[in-house]
Amino acid sequence: MTIFTDEVIEQMKRDIASHAPERGGALLGARGSNLVSRFLFDPQAKTTAASYFPSDELIEKVEQEERTTGLSFKGIVHSHPNGMDRPSQADLHAFACNLAANPRLGSFIAPIISRGVAKESHEISLGPKSKLSCFEAFRPRPENLHSELAEYEKEWAYVMAIGEALSFLEIALKEQFGVPFKTISDLRGPTDAEGYQNRRIKCRLFQLDIFIPDSYPAAPPITLYSPRVKGKQLDAQDLKIPWGGLSCHAPKALADQMISALKETGAGDPSANIAN
């Protein structure tokens, strides 16, 4: 299974699906995780009407991201013409070359974006006319060891609605507390564990450090609440978010449950007795 954040899906819609093929880019995520949380578009790619070859600039950018962010290369996504929703022979040859050049990789994901309607478990809709079909490319099996083509399998794909959930949360916070909020992405914080999507939401009343696990929305995010009293930010405390049941799989659930937990702390009330 491969999980894509909805933010990555939106980027691929904008930079690939809304243009003529062939276009593509690299996919990254936390090491040891099956979550794709970063997309790097490849504007310098070598392309024709029927082929896509990643640029040297993209390779350098991926290496830089791995060094500076701790993220790991997960694969390459590109688009196909004429509703071709699976890897071509040319793709399989390129996959085999990539695997040979990167012996540390046992496999990588190789999604294809094409015209069509998503109907199967390895497909994700990119709008009314386009879809993403997710595949895993790997080295030939022992009996096909001398083949110049990689092998591939369909890879079940799922979208984690982080961006949508955070949008609902920002709206709900502003409505509840009547002050503007600022969101910071890719936060480094005390949990700093691989596999978390980290965000900081702050205003003049308090700060929220949100750490969303790969298992979200089945599991709740870890949230640290840091109130501000008379302009001074107090020590962070773990915000106990009520969670559980199928209702928490709705993107709006994060906002509803977060607001409920904040009310319990007396957030925004300077006269509240705040525990440190």
pLDDT per position as a tens digit, 119-148: 999 999 998 899 999 999 998 877 666 678
pLDDT per position as a tens digit, 184-193: 765 544 334 4
Residue 132 and residue 124 in contact, taking contact as beta carbons nearer than 8 Å: yes
Residue 195 and residue 33 in contact, taking contact as beta carbons nearer than 8 Å: yes
Q: What is the residue-wise DSSP string for 45-65? A: -EEETTEEE--HHHHHHHHHH
Domain boundaries, the chain: 2-160, 162-265
Q: Which CATH number fits domain 2-160: 3.30.950.10, 3.40.109.10, 3.40.140.10, 2.60.40.10?
A: 3.40.140.10
Residue 33 and residue 214 in contact, taking contact as beta carbons nearer than 8 Å: yes
The pLDDT score that the predictor gives to residue 113 is 96
CB neighbours of 266 closer than 8 A, spacing ≥ 6?
A: 272, 273, 274
The pLDDT score that the predictor gives to residue 179 is 82
**H/E element, 196:** none
* Ranges under pLDDT 50 in the chain: 188-193, 273-276
Judge if pTM exceeds 0.75: yes
